Structure 1
C-alpha cells in the first residue's frame, strides 16, 4: 500500500520524502514518536523526534536516547517533508503528526481522545487529505460517560471500602491513566498510595510542571496499618502480586474502557470496573474523522474491520492498515483478544 506522502511497511509508517518513520516497531535510522507508551515508543532507533512535553517521559522510559524535540504547532522540515506535531489529548505530551509534501497533507493520529481531561493538552482536529486513525474502541457499544460521573463513582467506592476497613486498589496504566485519575479525585478523602511504577512517572511529570495531587510511594514500609482508608493505584501487571497482602483486606477495581464489556470484567475478577479510557469512544472517533475532512481514512489497531465498513457505508474511502500498535502494552498488561491498551 503506497501513497504520495506516507507508505506502510513492515517496520512502520514511512515517509519517503523525509526518510523517516512514525512510531516504528522495528529499529530505524529516524523515528518520529507520537507519545511514550511502549507500543509507540521503542528503543533502538538511530534518532528520535517528539514533542518537548513528551521528552521527559521518553527519556525516563527509554534512557539516554538521541532525542530532538519540537513544541506543538511548530513546522520543521525533515528532508522535503514539512512536519508538525499537534495535541492528541491521549496522555500528557501526546501528539498527532502532520506531514505535508507538495501541498498534500496526511495526519497520523497516534492514540487520541476527544474529551478534554484537564491534564493532557486537548485534542485539536487537523484538516487533511488523508487521516491515519486508531480505532481501538471502534464499536457503537463504546460510549464514555462524563469524567465527573466516573470520578463520583470511584469516590463512592473508595468511601465504601474505607467504611468496611478495606484498602481500595485501583488498577490503571502508569502513564496517562494514573495521573488522570489523580487529577479527578479528592486527596482530602484519604491517603493516595502509588505503586513504584506509577510514582516514578508521577515524579517525572511533576518535574515538568503538571499539577498532580500529593501521593505516597508504596514502599515496603507502607501498609494498611500505616495508611488506613487509603486508595492504592497500581499497574494492571501488579494487581495479582503478593505485595498486595500487606494492604489487606482489599477491594480491587480496574479503570479501563474495556470495563464496558461484561466478559472482560469477569475475566479480570475484580470487585468493580470503572469505564474510563484515554482513547476516543465511538462518537469521538466519528467526530474526529469528520472534522478532518479527509478524503481517505486508514484505520489501525482495534476493531478495524467493523469500523472500516462503517466508514465505507458513509461514503468515506476507508482502508485497514496492519500495525503492531497495541501489541506491546503499557505495564506489560495482557489484554483480551483484539483489545489494545485502554
Structure 2
C-alpha cells in the first residue's frame, strides 16, 4: 500500500499522487477525471478531461472546446500503475463514481449519488472498497424521500387541477438532471410540455443517448393563450424575472429535496413544493456506507459534521470530513452559457 493516503485533498481538488491525476478539481489542472456535468464538479480550464462517454457531449456543451476522453462503465484505465474505473452514481444522466485501486487498496469517490432508480439515469452501482468518499448533501434524519412514483402522481394531479382552472403550470428544476427527470415522468396526455431555452438546449444535447417526451421551446413569439392549461419546465433562475410575466395567470412549483422544509418554499415564493431530489436521503446514505464494507469514510459536502459523527458514534467507523468546493444542489445551477441562453 502507498505510504500516504491514495487520494488527498489539496487546494485544487482531490489528488492521486501516484497517477498525478485529479478528480473533480475546482482549479485548473493538467489531467482531471470528471464525475458528472454539474458546474461544481465539472470546471473549465483543465488541459485534459476524462469522463463517461455519455457525459462528453454534456461537458462540451457547458465548457466549450475541451480535450476529453470518454470511458465505458467498468472500463479499467491505468495511469502510472493506478487502476481507475467509472461506475454509475445514479445522480443524473451519465454521472459516475470513481473507483481507484493501487497495490491492493481500493478507494471510491461517489461525486454526487442517488440510490433510487429514477428510470433515466444509469442506476447506482454499489462498489466494495476500503475507503469511501461520500457526499452528504441531505445527511440529516429529516430527509427521507417519498418513492418517485408517488411524487410524479402528485405533480401530474397538480398540473391537471391547474388545467381545470385554465392556468399555466410552471415547475422549476435544474437544467441538467432535474429537468430531464421531470420530462421523463410527467404525463403528456394531460397537455403540452413547454421548456425554457436553457432546458431545451440541454435536453437536445441529451436526446442522442436518452429518451424524453416531446417538448416545445418557449420563444418571444409564444403567446399566453398557447400556454394556458399546459406545463412549463424552467430553471430556478427564471423565477421572478421578466421572462415569466407573459404567463399570467400561472401557478408555480419547485421540485427539490429542500422542499422537505416548508420554509424553503416560502422563501422562494413558490406556490407548491414537491420533494424530489437527485441525491441520496439519510437512509440511502447510511445503507450505502454500510454496504460498501468501507472502514474509513470521508464526508465531503453537505451536513458533513453531523453525518461523520453519526458514522463514528453509532456505526463505529473511522469517519472524518474534508472541505471541498462542491455545493450539492446549489452546484446544479445553470452554467454561464445556459444563463445567457434566451428563452
Q: Report what 1:171 is aligned to.
A: 172
SS of residue in 2 equivalent to 1:105:
strand
Counterparts of residues 111-126 of structure 1 (less than 5 Å)? 111-126=112-127
Whether the aligned pair in 2 keeps the contact of 1:224 and 1:230 (CA below 8 Å) is no
Q: Report what 2:192 is aligned to.
A: 191
Residue 76, structure 1, aligned to residue 77, structure 2: yes
Q: Report what 1:100 is aligned to.
A: 101
Whether the aligned pair in 1 keeps the contact of 2:175 and 2:334 (CA below 8 Å) is no
Write the deviation string for residues 79-98 of structure 1: whole angstroms up to 9, x where unpaired: 22100000000011000000
Whether the aligned pair in 2 keeps the contact of 1:172 and 1:255 (CA below 8 Å) is yes
- Superposition deviation, residue 120 in structure 1: 0.5
Whether the aligned pair in 1 keeps the contact of 2:18 and 2:82 (CA below 8 Å) is yes
Root mean square deviation of aligned Cα:
1.3
Residue 331, structure 1, aligned to residue 333, structure 2: yes
Residue 67, structure 1, aligned to residue 68, structure 2: yes
Whether the aligned pair in 2 keeps the contact of 1:91 and 1:278 (CA below 8 Å) is yes
Q: Report what 1:130 is aligned to.
A: 131
Residue 278, structure 1, aligned to residue 290, structure 2: no
Whether the aligned pair in 1 keeps the contact of 2:255 and 2:273 (CA below 8 Å) is yes
Whether the aligned pair in 1 keeps the contact of 2:141 and 2:282 (CA below 8 Å) is yes
- Superposition deviation, residue 3 in structure 1: 4.1
Whether the aligned pair in 1 keeps the contact of 2:174 and 2:334 (CA below 8 Å) is no
TM-score, normalising length: structure 2: 0.94
- Comparing 136-145 and 153-162, the one that deviates more: 153-162
- Superposition deviation, residue 261 in structure 1: 1.1
SS of residue in 2 equivalent to 1:82:
strand
Distance (whole Å) between structure 2 residues aligned to residue 202 and residue 188 of structure 1: 20
CA distance 1:263–1:227, change in 2 (3 Å):
closer
Gaps of 5+ in 1: 334-342
SS of residue in 1 equivalent to 2:201:
helix
- Superposition deviation, residue 40 in structure 1: 0.2
SS of residue in 2 equivalent to 1:54:
helix
Gaps of 5+ in 2: 336-343
Aligned residues: 331
Distance (whole Å) between structure 2 residues aligned to residue 223 and residue 150 of structure 1: 30
SS of residue in 2 equivalent to 1:125:
coil
Q: Report what 1:336 is aligned to.
A: none
Q: Report what 2:35 is aligned to.
A: 34
CA distance 1:254–1:3, change in 2 (3 Å):
farther
Distance (whole Å) between structure 2 residues aligned to residue 248 and residue 331 of structure 1: 25
Whether the aligned pair in 2 keeps the contact of 1:6 and 1:13 (CA below 8 Å) is yes
TM-score, normalising length: structure 1: 0.95
Counterparts of residues 156-167 of structure 1 (less than 5 Å)? 156-167=157-168
